[in-house]
Chain A
């Protein structure tokens, strides 16, 4: 049973409701959750930066290895060196914060540039772009990252740089596709007929009006991906290196005791990863639906 009802008898011509009133409740829920996660991330980042932590995340206590939650006042227990998991979780986000942003920045900026060239100039540039895409796609990313790490050093920034670069094609093709779509709808021609300078058309009318949702979503997904990649690398030993905590290397270190029935050391960070990434995905989804006005038609 779906319910529609009109409140006012007279509706003013011009005033529209603000977007959050138009939006579907699920979308709002998504976005709310997403924003909650984001704030949580920011807060824990701040806490970590300000050293407002229950324990010193580096404090080793050899007498208390892999202690279960609650023991010795450690809310989430301790890890394989007796360090407080909660504190390390809070600090752990820092491992992704800037590197993740770096990855996103690279993939979005380069990707957008390439995409615009491909979509706008079309023709000549297109094969080059797709060639670059396939080039990046054509080798298992993890192995590529390993080689790069070996060539330079196991530093999360190098890793994320690679992640960013390998993320470029995806973004590029998204943008290019969007622009081609606009072309088909003769949007761009119309704009240029109006005598708008190219950069205005590209920046304002194409990127801002028509691609911002794509970019936002790209960004949110990118952050999630950065975390997952670092985690996979950690399993192979090449993630963020001890003693710096990252959720990835925490899961990895804990997982070594998982099959012996000691869950907490890996479960806590694994769940942190889960809920965070979920948050990013839902945020992207919700924003997409709201800004693109899906479900309303």
Chain B
């Protein structure tokens, strides 16, 4: 990389890190507050289905040495977190961080995979439409994309399972990770594809990429490129594709994370979304907080990527 580009990148990097820290603080606080407002003592999950009076209920906190006041709870959590200790799940007693890392990787695969699929669908259509306008080829594809992105994702999931697995048995239906069937990976492709298609953003992505590219195509410097017989694509690539795509990635990650909550349950995918869901119902606050942290960091990663690319690509540096 050219030395000229290093400085803005370093700048962007430091800026991002500072922002992320602030953000994690904010997220943790907000989430904790909502948790606190919602009824149900996290520790009552330990007494699920037992006949014990109020006294022993109250006793539990002392038994576990958990602070009573919510802010005390938050602060102690924060303190531990800064020491790198995310605490242990109230329900399973397992160390939160390890658990999240384990399932987080699955969710990462799912999310990025489906994002990739979304882009693989959207980019060609968008570029074609941008350069040639609505043609016999691009128009039906766009429509198709619009249609699928308007379907409820879990219903799409059932549909896929019914048609491809139940009816035609194209994929093995296996559950969990210990399935030793052949072509098992095929099954793991299914949820990724479903989320990639059904996350409801394909149409939006197409529209955005198309507009950006056609805007750039009308720029003077593209005309210059043509006039000197250079490759239009090479000149349009950075502003017309690279930047918009990174923007998409950055802005869609949280959205797709949300979709993962559903898809992971439909396809029995051992992921973070499912864990978050369970934890939210148990008020298992160490887990929820941990997930909030990881998710936030994950989202930041997207925008980090974005501003890095922008800094690297645009000599003017991150701010326009």
The interface of chain A, by Cβ under 8 A from chain B, is 24, 26, 131, 134-135, 137-144, 146-148, 150-151, 170, 180, 184, 221, 224-225, 228, 231-232, 235-236, 248, 251-252, 255, 258-259, 266, 270, 273-278, 281-282, 285, 295, 297
Contacts and interface: CB of A to CB of B under 8 A. Distances in A.
Given A139-B295, A142-B261, 20 more contacts: A26-B134, A138-B27, A139-B27, A140-B254, A141-B255, A143-B261, A144-B34, A151-B34, A151-B37, A151-B38, A180-B320, A232-B152, A236-B262, A252-B154, A258-B155, A258-B162, A259-B162, A281-B150, A295-B134, A297-B218
A15 to B, nearest CB: 28
A236 B277 contact: yes
Contact of B23 (A138, A170, A277, A278): A138
A258 B161 CA distance: 10
Interface stretch (B86-94, B114-122, B175-183, B296-304): B296-304
A275 to B, nearest CB: 8
A138 B200 contact: no
Nearest to A127: B19
Contact of B150 (A135, A150, A224): A224
A131 B152 contact: no
B200 A139 contact: no
Interface in B146-202: 146-147, 150-155, 158-159, 161-162, 166, 200
Contacts of A151: 34, 37-39
Contacts of A24: 134
B63 interface: no
A252 B158 CA distance: 11
Given A141-B258, A232-B262, A146 B281 contact: yes
B276 interface: yes
Interface string B34-78: 110111100000000000000000000000000000000000000
The winner among A134, A139, A225, A274 for most chain B CB atoms within 10 A is A139
A21 B262 CA distance: 45
Interface residues of B, number: 59
B262 A235 contact: yes
Contacts of A251: 152, 155
A83 B37 CA distance: 37
Interface in B282-320: 288, 291-292, 295-296, 299-300, 303, 320
Given A140-B257, A150-B280, A236-B262, A282 B200 contact: no
B99 to A, nearest CB: 16
A279 to B, nearest CB: 9
A170 B300 CA distance: 16
A142 B258 contact: yes
Contacts of A275: 150
A135 B26 contact: yes
A252 B200 CA distance: 18
Contacts of B277: 142-143, 146, 236
A143 B275 CA distance: 10
Closest 8 CB pairs of A and B: A138-B296, A277-B150, A151-B38, A150-B38, A151-B37, A137-B254, A231-B152, A235-B154
A150 B150 CA distance: 28
A225 B200 CA distance: 8
Nearest to A177: B320
B309 to A, nearest CB: 17
A142 B303 CA distance: 21
Contacts of A274: 147, 150-151
30 contacts: A131-B23, A131-B26, A134-B19, A135-B30, A138-B254, A138-B295, A139-B292, A140-B261, A140-B295, A141-B254, A143-B261, A143-B273, A143-B277, A147-B31, A147-B35, A150-B280, A151-B39, A170-B251, A224-B150, A231-B155, A232-B258, A232-B259, A236-B265, A258-B158, A258-B159, A259-B166, A274-B150, A276-B150, A278-B147, A285-B207
Given A143-B277, A258-B162, A270-B151, A281 B203 contact: yes
B261 to A, nearest CB: 5
B260 to A, nearest CB: 7
A141 B300 CA distance: 16
Given A266-B155, A285-B207, A143 B26 contact: no
A134 B281 contact: no
B213 to A, nearest CB: 13
A278 B303 CA distance: 29
Contact of B34 (A147, A225, A248): A147
